[in-house]
Amino acid sequence: MNPLFEAINFVENALYEQIISDIGNQQYSIIDNFFTSEEVHILRQTLIEKHEEDAFKKAAIGNRVNETIVKSIRGDVILWIDERNADAKECLFFDKINDLVAYLNRTCFLGILNKEFHYALYPKGTFYKRHIDTFQNDDRRKLSFVCYLNEDGWLPENGGELVLYLTEKEKEVEKTIYPFPGRVVIFESQIIEHEVKPVNKERLSITGWLKTR
């Protein structure tokens, strides 16, 4: 172990170190099995229950000050999660997120002081066109975080790939990521354009942002 880490009684976490080095090198990180299949199951059930309660509303483009619904751009329905009122199942989610955030703040000086998360459900036939996750009037989002809650055995032909548009040697390259259950994708909100390809089967996730304020 690095002697400096030892001196401040710090336990290095190999997974988090991988995430940090991925983001440093390529501006994104893909983590399979960040959530176990049991955790995915619990969170998926919670999402489905809330959806059935009709708590979701049509996802809006823009932030809460400036909301408009444009189905030609995105077709998912979302429900914001209030951490202060999180139930036991949602705490399972936030415990993992908060552990990661504490590590990032301790090791990377990212200054993540705030976060926001929502459930998202993409009905069959919907998509989210190419976009960037920061608003014109708000640049507090630093890292975007998506966690997929689909059922085991999700197939590539179900569609709904997340495509990141990256720049390599001054050329644009596409990185296609399948929304496999338990998989988490983290990327730089202010840099990486991305889109969700049309889904052929209902697609479930939690999406969020780690923010500076």
Ligand X SMILES: O=C(O)CCC(=O)C(=O)O
| DSSP-derived secondary structure for 132-163 | -S-BTTB--EEEEEEEE-PPTT--GGGB--EE
DSSP summary character for residue 34: S
Q: Exactly one of 205, 206, 210, 211 binds ligand X (CB under 6 A); which one? A: 205
β-bridge partners, 166: 173
- 101 or 120, CB closer to ligand X? 120
Q: Does residue 39 touch Fe ion according to CB under 5 A?
A: no
The minimum distance between CB 191 and ligand X, in angstroms, equals: 14
Beta strands across the sheet bearing 28-31: 28-31, 184-188, 141-148, 203-211, 114-122, 77-81, 57-58
Q: Exactly one of 56, 103, 127, 128 binds ligand X (CB under 6 A); which one? A: 128
Q: Exactly one of 164, 196, 204, 206 binds ligand X (CB under 6 A); which one? A: 196
For CA atoms 199, 30, 101, 20, the dihedral sign is negative
- 20 or 196, CB closer to ligand X? 196
Q: Which does 90 bind (CB under 5 to 8 A by kind): Fe ion, ligand X, none?
A: none
Residues 9-68 that bind ligand X (CB under 6 A): none
Q: Exactly one of 133, 186, 189, 195 binds Fe ion (CB under 5 A); which one? A: 133
Q: Does residue 133 touch ligand X according to CB under 6 A?
A: yes
- At residue 31, φ and ψ (nearest 5 deg) are -120, 110
The minimum distance between CB 118 and ligand X, in angstroms, equals: 8
Counting residues that bind ligand X (by CB under 6 A) gives 9
| DSSP-derived secondary structure for 98-143 | HHHHHHHHHHH-----EEEEEEEEE-TT--EEEE-S-BTTB--EEE
Q: Does residue 150 touch ligand X according to CB under 6 A?
A: no
The minimum distance between CB 32 and ligand X, in angstroms, equals: 15
DSSP summary character for residue 61: B
Strand pairing report for 193-196 and 162-168: antiparallel
Where along the sequence are the contacts to ligand X (CB under 6 A)?
120, 128, 133, 146, 162, 194, 196, 205, 207
Where along the sequence are the contacts to Fe ion (CB under 5 A)?
133
